[in-house]
């Protein structure tokens, strides 16, 4: 069983397999398995106090599982915990205090997501993903629901720069039809988060079997979507309500687009200038 297919205690158990964890580290693991919500939102020092160990033990426990430290491990733990809740369950879990402003809480959560993305995103992998899109002949971007907002931004701006990037967000037969026109060596970018949309994941697996380069933008390295793609870019999507926040994902899309502009050089600059002239000729904008 792959790590992307397990949840809760099973997910933690799969990480522990083959890892060199001390007896005190196992005490940390038992605490996490017994109280996943508390561990998902507690600092390393709080977990250490609850278990009766020092903070270094908690940090070394996370590192023994392959993470840089407790914050990175906790991001994925919280993703697993929240991913098992229904939207109504998320609302109950995230009930704000009466004195809290939902608007302020949302902005603070998004700011935290951006801060977490700065420390957790694999920038080398993201730069490589942009290069893959720049080098292929054609790219298809697929997504659905609110996640499609990220897909629309990325596909539209990439086309504006002259890249052959198309978009499909209707799913099902529409995705199959779109993929049928792509050939080995082309690229598929799939944007899929949280409780993964199954047909997007299956389309990724199919495209990979057909020889397309597959890039996933998702929110955990252990997500089935990350496992399905050849290349995975991971950003946090936690929000203060029942939905996932797309703030960090949109910022990632902006970064990839900026990299595509750099890679395209003068050719992209000329394309943008022609489109600017066309906007003026067609009087598309209010002046």
pLDDT of residue 34: 81
pLDDT of residue 89: 65
| 3-state secondary structure (DSSP) of residue 217 | strand
pLDDT of residue 3: 36
pLDDT of residue 185: 96
pLDDT of residue 235: 93
pLDDT of residue 17: 86
Cα separation, 37 vs 31, in Å, equals 11
The CA–CA distances, whole Å, from 144 to 127, 133, 141, 152 equal 24, 20, 10, 10
Provide the residue-wise pLDDT of the chain in tens; the chain has 287 residues.
233 333 456 778 888 888 899 999 999 998 888 888 888 888 999 999 999 999 999 999 999 998 889 988 988 888 777 777 666 666 666 665 666 788 998 999 999 999 989 988 999 999 999 999 999 999 999 999 999 999 999 999 999 999 999 999 999 999 999 999 999 999 999 999 988 899 999 999 999 999 999 999 999 887 889 999 999 999 999 888 888 999 999 999 999 999 999 999 999 999 999 998 998 889 888 87
**Domains in the chain with CATH codes:** 3-84 (1.10.10.10), 123-281 (3.40.50.10490)
Helix or strand holding residue 190 (H, E): strand 187-191
Which residues are within 8 A (CB) of 178 and not within 5 positions of it... i.e. 6 or more apart? 140, 142, 166, 168
Segments in 188-241 forming alpha helices (H) = 198-209, 224-228
pLDDT of residue 75: 82
Rounded to two decimals, the pTM is 0.77
Cα separation, 47 vs 153, in Å, equals 40
Sheet holding 213-218, edge to edge: 165-168, 139-142, 187-191, 213-218, 231-234
pLDDT of residue 91: 61
Would you call 282 exposed, middle or buried from its count of C-beta atoms within 10 A (0-12, 13-18, 19+)? exposed
The CA–CA distances, whole Å, from 164 to 110, 157, 179, 222 equal 31, 11, 14, 31
Cα separation, 37 vs 50, in Å, equals 13
Would you call 56 exposed, middle or buried from its count of C-beta atoms within 10 A (0-12, 13-18, 19+)? exposed
Nearest to 82 by CA among 246, 272, 238, 275: 238
pLDDT of residue 242: 85
Cα separation, 119 vs 22, in Å, equals 27
Question: Could you read off the pLDDT of 17-30 as tens digits, one per residue?
Answer: 888 999 999 999 98
Q: End-to-end alpha-carbon separation of the chain, Å?
A: 59
CA-atom Rg of the chain in angstroms:
21
């Amino acid at each position: 069983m792959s790590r992307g297919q397990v949840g809760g205690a099973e997910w933690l158990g799969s990480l522990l397999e083959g890892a060199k964890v001390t007896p005190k580290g196992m005490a940390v693991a038992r605490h996490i398995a017994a109280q996943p919500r508390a561990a998902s939102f507690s600092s390393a020092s709080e977990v250490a106090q609850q278990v009766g160990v020092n903070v270094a033990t908690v940090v070394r426990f996370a590192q023994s599982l392959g993470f840089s430290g407790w914050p990175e491990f906790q991001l994925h733990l919280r993703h697993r915990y929240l991913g098992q809740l229904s939207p109504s369950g998320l609302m109950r879990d995230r009930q704000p205090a009466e004195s809290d402003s939902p608007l302020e809480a949302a902005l603070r959560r998004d700011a935290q997501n951006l801060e977490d993305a700065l420390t957790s995103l694999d920038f080398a992998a993201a730069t490589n993903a942009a290069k893959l899109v720049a080098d292929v002949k054609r790219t298809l971007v697929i997504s659905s629901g609110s996640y499609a907002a990220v897909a629309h931004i990325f596909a539209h701006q990439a086309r504006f720069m002259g890249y052959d990037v198309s978009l499909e967000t209707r799913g099902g037969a529409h995705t199959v039809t779109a993929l049928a026109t792509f050939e080995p060596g082309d690229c598929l970018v799939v944007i899929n988060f949280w409780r993964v949309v199954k047909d997007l994941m299956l389309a990724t697996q199919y495209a990979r079997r057909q020889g397309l380069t597959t890039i996933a933008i998702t929110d955990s390295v252990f997500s089935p979507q990350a496992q399905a793609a050849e290349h995975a870019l991971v950003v946090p999507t936690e929000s203060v309500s029942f939905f996932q926040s797309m703030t960090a994902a949109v910022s990632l899309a902006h970064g990839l687009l900026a990299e595509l502009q750099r890679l395209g050089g003068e050719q992209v600059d000329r394309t943008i200038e022609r489109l600017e002239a066309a906007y003026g000729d067609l009087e598309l904008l209010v002046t």
